[in-house]
Structures are given as C-alpha cells and as structure tokens.
Amino acid sequence: MTVSVRIRQDYSSQELRRLASRSKDANQSRRLLSLAAVLDGLSRADAARMGGMDRQTLRDWVHRFNADGPDGLFDHWAPGQPSRLSEDQKVELIKIVETGPDLAVDGVVRWRRIDLQRVIKERFGVHYHERHVGALLKKLGFSHMSARPQHPGQDAGVISAFKKTSREH
C-alpha cells in the first residue's frame, strides 16, 4: 500500500480557496481548489477528479506545492529554441521591412513572406520556412496588414486631377 504525500500545513483550505478566487490563471485556481479539498478531508481520487486530473497528477502538483507554494502551481513552459537571428540581425530586418523593397534591387513592389524568406537567406545566411517568417514578423511587432502598393509608373498629377472635388454652394 502506498503512502500519500503530505501537503504542507502553512496554508489552510480557506486560504487556498481565497488564493484560487484571486488567481488570474485558471489552471492554478483549479489546482488550488483540489488541494483545498484534500485539506478538507476529501479523498485524493475525488479531489483529483474535481480538478480534472488523475491521482498521480494531483500527487505531482502536491510535490510542486510543497516545494514552491502557490506559485509552484503555475504551468512552466519551456522557452523553446533560441532564435537563429541575432538581435542585431533582427534590428536590421526591422529596418528592411520598414523601408520597403526597392523594385530595381529586390524585384518586388511590396514585401511578401516568401520575398523576406529569400532576403533573410541572402543577407544573414539563415533559412526559415515561409510560415515561420510570418511568425518572426509578428514577434517583431508587425501585423499582416499592408498598404496597397503604388504602381511605379503612377503620376501624382494625374491622381490629383482625377480625384472628385465637392462643389461649394
């Protein structure tokens, strides 16, 4: 027969419920409420079921709670892969995007992800998938919306002459 892990006693079930009601993280609140139920005498299986987990998962959260208190009940996500572009390269990419393409040099009138994928490969020697270029742009603060490009042969005088003006009464 296994022995259940004891929950630290410096928090009462009422304190855990109060922390759960004030938490902005739903998962932390759910875990706090399950631990409060255990402290109130509910069986671990029922407390785990109430929190939407199994007994082993509740046991793992008890270990985290005992070690770190209520802050140990937050999800800790791994940071992921480090960026293949350095901070200086990201700053340069921001300038490239903000400046816009040069038709004579880049061969396009507006940036698309596939065009930026090529530019990143040529200038920085880093290959990204076209989809990841969009994610990278979002991380750098750019949105998907873009202004409609202007035809290179467009004459500003013709545009202003074509615009309709309202008559004065």
3-state secondary structure 32-58: HHHHHHHHCCCCHHHHHHHCCCCHHHH
Q: Percent of the chain having pLDDT more than 90?
A: 75
pTM: 0.54
pLDDT at 147: 65
The whole-chain average pLDDT of the chain stands at 91
By the 10 Å C-beta count (0-12 exposed, 13-18 middle, 19+ buried), 20 is classed as buried
pLDDT in tens, 59-81: 999 999 999 999 999 998 888 88
Sequence-distant (≥ 6) Cβ neighbours of residue 38 within 8 angstroms: 7, 44, 47, 58, 62
Flag whether pLDDT at 135 surpasses 80.
yes
pLDDT in tens, 136-159: 999 999 987 766 777 777 887 877
Give dist(CA 124, CA 84) in Å, integer: 10
